[in-house]
């Protein structure tokens, strides 16, 4: 049964894989045997990330390109493919701008859409051409709970992630006949460097998230690894167009009264 999840010999491209949740998922794939093709845009971050992967005895190489630049992305993908197939693609690169609608500049709204939605389209199209010709491939789009819910100040992000959910379904619809599985992962609230300042007892948002999550805690980035491995492996060969929410149960419940323990 373990062979179902074995990624030995597979090559996985992870966009935004130099830090955070992207790195956590990449580590999982690497420890399952995959060779990592790490995308980023910062040479300094790339250097540190590759050292971290190599220290874990994970095969990894870096590729610096902007996922919103169609020509640069196509060139990078063709270069990678010339040295071996991209068997797995995780579209993880993304940004967020927390601004109320009435205060948000159109340019900022477009930038979020460009990175979080157009970027996955550009990369998937470039990689998908090769996958279609081989009649094999796994694509994982990193969605969000904001693919389902709204929240103050994250309008552009929610619009992009909602669109990414539907892009996932449409890619699956068109490419399933080529033995390509396209699915998504929707992370809940995770303990990262970015959330560290608000993950302290007594902070209103920390207390809200812990109280709102049935599991009663923030997610650990390592909690994403199993789902990423599953959707990258033969174990998910008949799963297509699905979004798996790794959220400790948030989307399963309306919540609980403030005085309930």
- How much is the pTM? 0.96
Q: What is the pLDDT of residue 256?
A: 76
Q: What is the pLDDT of residue 130?
A: 98
Q: What is the pLDDT of residues 1-56, one digit of tens each?
A: 789 999 999 999 999 999 999 999 999 999 999 999 999 999 999 999 999 999 99
Name the stretches of the chain with pLDDT < 70.
258-261
- The CA distances from residue 231 to 7, 123, 128, 227, in Å, are 11, 18, 16, 6
- The CA distances from residue 160 to 53, 121, 182, 185, in Å, are 30, 12, 17, 14
- Cite the beta strand spans of the chain per DSSP E: 11-14, 35-40, 60-64, 88-91, 137-142, 180-187, 243-246
* Residue 113 · residue 159 · CB < 8 Å: yes
In whole angstroms, what is the distance from residue 88 CA to residue 230 CA? 12
Spot the catalytic one: 157, 178, 189, 245. 157
Q: What is the pLDDT of residue 193?
A: 87
| Number of Cβ atoms within 10 Å of the Cβ of 58 | 19
List the CATH code of the domain at 2-246: 3.40.50.720
DSSP-assigned letters across all residues of 12-77? EEETTTTSHHHHHHHHHHHHTTPEEEEEES-HHHHHHHHHHHHHTT--EEEEE--TT-HHHHHHHH
In whole angstroms, what is the distance from residue 163 CA to residue 147 CA? 8
> Burial level of 102, CB count in 10 A (0-12/13-18/19+)?
exposed
Q: What is the pLDDT of residue 261?
A: 60
Q: For the chain, what is the mean pLDDT?
A: 96
Q: Is 157 a catalytic residue?
A: yes
In whole angstroms, what is the distance from residue 80 CA to residue 50 CA? 17
């Amino acid at each position: 049964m373990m062979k179902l999840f074995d990624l030995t010999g597979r090559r996985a491209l992870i966009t935004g894989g130099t830090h955070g949740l992207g790195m956590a998922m990449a580590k999982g794939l690497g420890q399952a045997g995959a060779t990592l093709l790490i995308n980023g845009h910062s040479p300094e971050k790339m250097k540190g990330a590759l050292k971290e992967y190599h220290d874990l005895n994970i095969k990894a190489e870096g590729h610096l390109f902007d996922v919103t630049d169609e020509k640069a992305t196509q060139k990078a993908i063709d270069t990678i493919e010339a040295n071996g197939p991209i068997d797995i693609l995780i579209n993880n690169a993304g940004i967020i701008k927390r601004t109320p609608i009435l205060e948000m500049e159109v340019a900022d709204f477009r930038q979020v859409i460009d990175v979080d939605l157009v970027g996955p389209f550009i990369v998937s199209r470039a990689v998908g051409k090769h996958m279609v010709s081989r009649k094999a491939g796994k694509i994982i789009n990193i969605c969000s709970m904001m693919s389902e819910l709204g929240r103050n100040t994250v309008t552009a992000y929610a619009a992009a992630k909602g669109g990414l959910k539907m892009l996932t379904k449409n890619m699956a619809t068109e490419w399933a006949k080529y033995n390509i599985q396209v699915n998504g992962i929707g992370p809940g609230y995770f303990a990262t460097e970015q959330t560290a300042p608000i993950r302290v007892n007594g902070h209103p948002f920390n207390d809200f998230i812990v109280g709102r999550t049935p599991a009663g805690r923030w997610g650990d980035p390592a909690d994403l690894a199993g789902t990423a491995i599953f959707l990258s492996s033969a174990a998910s060969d008949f799963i297509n167009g699905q979004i798996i929410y790794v959220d400790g149960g948030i989307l399963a419940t309306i919540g609980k009264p403030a005085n309930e323990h």
